[in-house]
Structure 1
Amino acid sequence: MKKLVIAAAVLAVSTLFTIQPRAATTDQFNDEQEKAIQEIVRSYLLKNPELLEEVIAELQKKREAEAAVARQEYLRELYSADSKYKRFSMGKGDVVVVEFMDYNCPFCRKAYATLRDLMDETDIEVRLIEFPVLGPGSTVASQAALAAEKQGKYVEFHDALMSLSQRIENEETIFKVAEEVGLDVDQLKTDMQDPEINALIDENLQLADALGVQGTPAFFVGDTSIPGAPENLRDELITAIAEAREGCAAC
């Protein structure tokens, strides 16, 4: 009887989640039997509600595993040597570290210093995904940075913007920095109007959604994701880099 109740619990829990596995039960039970089983299960669950917690936990594990598999396709493209994102990268190495960042994110600035140090110590390539979610200043800064790549100065411009101590509130600040790193500002402004620039930012936003990115910074190394800039970011990145060198599903 206990086995029947536990087996039937699947039906009851599915019903609670508005999933109707009719195909799996119709051949086994008629309507009257299903109704009786559901009543038994209802009574059993009311007396043993912890069972629901176990089922929900297992459901969450399953969904997380499915999401991890789905992410591999996107990560594989990001890590690829032929990836279009290679244009927006710093350093060289056998492991690619992907960062979703925003120029107005103070935590991104903090993480940037860590990345700079690690590039020299661990021979990694950092690919930067412009993810402007912190206001108009962030969007214009990303547009300018992507356009700077056309003049071969993406890294220099990115480095200068990340070195700013203040929030980017206006275009004047952006173009002043552009001039300081040797960019042709008039050409930069023209290149910023290229439809490819906004199309790439839109793709980045969609990519972030597909990978479950909810804020900046967000890092992906091999099969590991690191949200935010934790105090032990350096150690987490070093561990993830070492694991990626041993092999990963998305590499």
Structure 2
Amino acid sequence: MAQGLPGVTAEAERADTGRPRVVRVRGLTKRFGERTVLDGVDLDIARGEFVALLGRSGSGKSTLLRALAGLDDATGGELSVDGTVAVAFQEPRLVPWKRVRANVALGLRVPDPRAAADKALAEVGLTERGGAWPLTLSGGEAQRASLARALVREPDLLLLDEPFSALDALTRITMHRLVLDLWERHRPGILLVTHDVDEALLLADRVLVLDGGRIAHESRVDLDRPRHRDHPDLTALRAALLAQLGVTTDEGTA
């Protein structure tokens, strides 16, 4: 799914990276009745930056992502996105009565949607599955199709809401490599919502922890990719992130 945010103004300021920012959030709040989920969130994401967002269950990670996608209105604060947005969710959300190619091309406004969809399917390794029905796809194939549907629109911001959490370990590794390859090729800004500390450290330039409705912690990951889980710098970052999440190092990952 991809869409621009209505009423959002272009943002010419630069993020801390020195690159133009694609996301600027200031004092964002979101309430559900008496419950405050987001309480003054500040966030910048630069063009081409890969950011991961961690937090306990119910901390508001998906709420923030949905606000950035324009799917939910914020209660207060400022939010601007410079460009178009695409989203890939934990569930691939493919339309079951349309074949894979038609799912990828759904709502696409280009001169030749079929050709654009076929190109996107080739990028994710699904050339031979374009004519298949979604229910015949494996979990990994369905997520590849979901990514193709997002990336075919060449978004400025790609939002990933725990898209790998339901996959087996080997498929997840393959999807990590695929996402990094696609990110390096297209260079959208990415916000990945995840519960997996190692996933965040292996993929992102910057890892954030959402707690108490605000960004409570930030770690930069200044290591070349591909990264190895046992790298001493990642070990130290992992311990710091787990502590922020209230998990001691002998309890495993979040």
Flag whether TM exceeds 0.5 (same fold): no
Larger radius of gyration: 1
Structure with higher RCO (Cα < 8 A, 6+ apart): 2
TM-score, normalised with respect to structure 1? 0.24
Considering fraction of residues, name the structure with more strand. Answer: 2
